[in-house]
Amino acid sequence: MTSLLVELHTEELPPKALKKLSEAFADGVVKSLRAQNFLQDSSVATGYGAPRRMAVLITDVLETSPDEAFVQKLVPVRVGLNEEGQATSALIKKMAALGIECSVGDLKRVNDGKNEQLVYEGIKAGVGLQDGLQKALEDSIKALPIPKVMNYQLADGTTTVQFVRPVKRLVALYGDAVLPVGMFGLTADRLTMGHRFHTSEPISLRDADGYAEQLKSEGKVIAHYGERRALLVSLLEDSAKAAGGTLIAPEDLIDETTSLTEWPVIYTSEFEEKFLAVPEECLILTMQTNQKYFPLRDAFGRLMNRFCLVSHIEAKDGGHAISSGNARVVRARLADAEFFYNQDCQSTLESRVPGLTNVVYHNKLGTQGERTLRVQELAARIASKIGADKEQAARAAMLSKADLRTLMVGEFPELQGIMGEYYARHDGEADDVALAVREHYAPRFAGDELPSTPVSLAVAMADKMETLAGMFGIGQMPTGDKDPFALRRHALGVLRMLIEKQLPIDLDELVRTSFEVEGQVEGVKDESEALLNFFFDRLRVMMRDEGFTAQEVEAVLAKRIYHVADTRKRLQAVQKFMQMTEAESLSAANKRIANILKKIEGDIPTEVNKALLTEAAEKALFDAVGDHEPVAKILYGKREFEGVLASMTPLKAPVDAFFNDVMVNADDLAVRQNRQALLKRLYDLMNCVAELSRLAK
């Protein structure tokens, strides 16, 4: 056993796909070799991914896979042997096709339950690592998650192959020996290339184990993605500190720059302070998106006119030319952003609203202008329900999409809402109106912050509910994994606002109001029930993701409580209840009551005639229910759900006694109905917080 190295040296790989591609390449080779029994329990694989290479190093690889015993079923005995016991032509052909050479006497007879079969038991000889690696390469490359395939011609000028990028060299080393496997018209050897600018001659790799270190020392290439990323982050932090600032460094930008450089080197540069008058989001996005720069903030959190840039060249002049060159480049980019901003500020947001009639929202739901009117009406109605300023909510909703008609958002769609706030403040709009224009998109993703003011909440909820009602109304519900209009995200956003902000509006009222507004559009049907079901499905997922059990969630949601702001509080109460010693018995009794009531046809009265109570146990239960109802109602009115459920525990003894001593289905109709009414009253009392029968084991 020794180590195996495989490397594909290519033209520059797509940076956003590099990490995933290199990991998939390494995993694919390992998986195939393991399936072919070339690897041991002690084998360790290390994947490498750099801008121009994907590689994997695997320790403890066998030179030849072990022999394997195998059993091959051939044909039924009646088909394979004639009356004299000699092989028929069918058996001879079958054995020839499988490459089996033996006499008929060497074959076993096995009954498979239907027929007696002729079976060959033999030993399959192991194969050499070269053959195994050839198969592993083919398996791995075939399964790579290539975002976009590229066609290119081989050196012969006639053969066309497909891959993510042209492959220039193929390395395969087993220890210090070359395994001459072939792919992409190449035969493997030990030659690879180092850094594109710091080296020029091929590097002859000495052995598999020394791959990473030799590339680093001779080729100025850090092949391991994680090591290169950690170094890049460390260098960025050091440079930012030296420049007197802190980094603005999103993870995806760090990943992308890691995938763009083989040997990270960090320089700092700057731009003119005058550009700081432009909203910082524009400057940051310009630098990050177009140039892959890392902006800096000062000690007070203000954007600095300095930034860090990632290079892979160790310049002899200390990077002066690189820094000044990038300063010239960014100056042009920021000048564009400044021009867009200044031009946009020459017109008010309100003046842009009519232009939304030229923007198609959906062919069945009209233009953005028409949609804005619906969101505006809906926002005002929601605002009046949650205690927000109705006029400000309507104003913010009217302006919410106007920045779609600006130059800045046309250039950077990611700035929707953000630029709207800047332009609204420039126009002198009220603070809550301007903030709502920004925040009406929130939450944009899982874990994102919610809108911060009542006006923002009203507009954000209206924006999402208009989308949900509109799409459900025209039959565009999500199916399976397909959700092109992000309706699941919108529904979760609404639920989070209702629950986390404790908004005083019920879900059914919100849905009904939304369809009343959306129903103004011709062809939109009222799908309130379908949308409510969709919300409750999302609520189930949301609560289970928070750590509540499926049983607890079903117990609470079975009540179909539309005041979903209480959902988390109810679930916490159920969790506390289940820790009580009486919980199991009360849940089981509740389930029994539910089964009894389910079999009764028609309405069940809850008025109990005390004169018809004859058994001591039913009288005791009636008194216990009467004693606990007022307490439970007071606690329920205060939304003290833990207290409500705790107040049920004294009912255990009278409930148990009732089921031990009382026959519910008495022969006397009046007595039977009276006992059913008592159980119905008890059931309603016990299940006001959650359906306890769902908690029974």
pLDDT score, position 417: 95
Q: Look at residue 70 and tell me whether its pLDDT is greater than 90.
A: no
Q: What are phi and psi of 39, to 5 degrees?
A: -105, 155
Mean pLDDT of 340-361: 94
Mean pLDDT of 190-219: 95
Token pair 């760090």 in the structure block, residue? 254
| Per-residue pLDDT band at 67 (split at 50, 70, 90) | confident
Mean pLDDT of 241-246: 95
**What does R_g of the chain's alpha carbons equal in angstroms?**
36
Q: What's the gap between Cα 3 and its chain centre?
A: 37
pLDDT score, position 446: 85
Contact 28, 144 (CB under 8 A): yes
pLDDT score, position 494: 96
Q: Look at residue 662 and tell me whether its pLDDT is greater than 90.
A: no
Q: Look at residue 601 and tell me whether its pLDDT is greater than 80.
A: no
pLDDT (tens digit per residue) in 463-510: 999 999 999 999 999 887 788 899 999 999 999 999 999 999 999 999
Q: 604: helix, coil or strand?
A: coil
Contact 207, 176 (CB under 8 A): yes
| Per-residue pLDDT band at 586 (split at 50, 70, 90) | confident
> For residues 180 and 171, what is the distance between their CA atoms, to the nearest angstrom?
9
> For residues 56 and 296, what is the distance between their CA atoms, to the nearest angstrom?
37
pLDDT score, position 1: 79
Least confident of 138-142, 542-546, 576-580: 576-580
Number of C-beta neighbours around residue 469 at 10 A? 28
Q: Domain spanning 567-695: which CATH class is it, in words?
A: mainly alpha
Mean pLDDT of 563-568: 94
pLDDT score, position 72: 85
> For residues 87 and 340, what is the distance between their CA atoms, to the nearest angstrom?
87
> For residues 677 and 608, what is the distance between their CA atoms, to the nearest angstrom?
6
Q: Look at residue 598 and tell me whether its pLDDT is greater than 90.
A: no
Contact 206, 212 (CB under 8 A): no
pLDDT (tens digit per residue) in 244-260: 999 999 999 999 999 99
Mean pLDDT of 59-81: 88
Q: Look at residue 174 and tell me whether its pLDDT is greater than 90.
A: yes
pLDDT score, position 325: 94
pLDDT score, position 668: 87
| Per-residue pLDDT band at 231 (split at 50, 70, 90) | very high
Q: Look at residue 606 and tell me whether its pLDDT is greater than 90.
A: no
Q: Look at residue 357 and tell me whether its pLDDT is greater than 80.
A: yes
Q: 189: helix, coil or strand?
A: strand
Q: Look at residue 602 and tell me whether its pLDDT is greater than 80.
A: no
pLDDT score, position 428: 96
Q: Look at residue 374 and tell me whether its pLDDT is greater than 90.
A: yes
Separation in Å, CA 432 to CA 374, 414, 427: 20, 22, 13
pLDDT score, position 648: 85
Q: What is the DSSP string of 318-358?
A: TTHHHHHHHHHHHHHHHHHHHHHHHHHTTS-HHHHGGGGGG
Mean pLDDT of 197-211: 95
pLDDT score, position 687: 86
Least confident of 46-60, 512-526, 609-623: 609-623
Q: What is the mean pLDDT of the chain?
A: 92
pLDDT score, position 201: 93
Q: What is the DSSP string of 426-473?
A: HTT--HHHHHHHHHTT---STTPPPP-SHHHHHHHHHHHHHHHHHHHH
With a threshold of 0.95, does the pTM exceed it? no
| Per-residue pLDDT band at 157 (split at 50, 70, 90) | confident
CATH number of 350-546: 1.10.3210
pLDDT (tens digit per residue) in 3-51: 999 999 999 999 999 999 999 999 999 999 999 999 999 999 999 999 9
pLDDT score, position 358: 92
Q: Look at residue 534 and tell me whether its pLDDT is greater than 80.
A: yes
Q: What are phi and psi of 286, to 5 degrees?
A: -60, -50
Which CATH architecture is the domain 2-65+128-219 placed in? Answer: 2-Layer Sandwich (3.30)
Contact 130, 91 (CB under 8 A): no
pLDDT score, position 697: 74
Q: Look at residue 664 and tell me whether its pLDDT is greater than 90.
A: no
> For residues 451 and 442, what is the distance between their CA atoms, to the nearest angstrom?
6
Give me the residues paired with residue 186 across strands.
Answer: 183
Taking the domains of the chain in order of start, what are their residue ranges?
2-65+128-219, 68-124, 225-344, 350-546, 567-695
Token pair 């224009």 in the structure block, residue? 437
Separation in Å, CA 41 to CA 59, 65, 148, 209, 251: 10, 14, 36, 19, 35
Q: Look at residue 58 and tell me whether its pLDDT is greater than 80.
A: yes
| Strands 108-111 and 116-124, bridge-based pairing | antiparallel
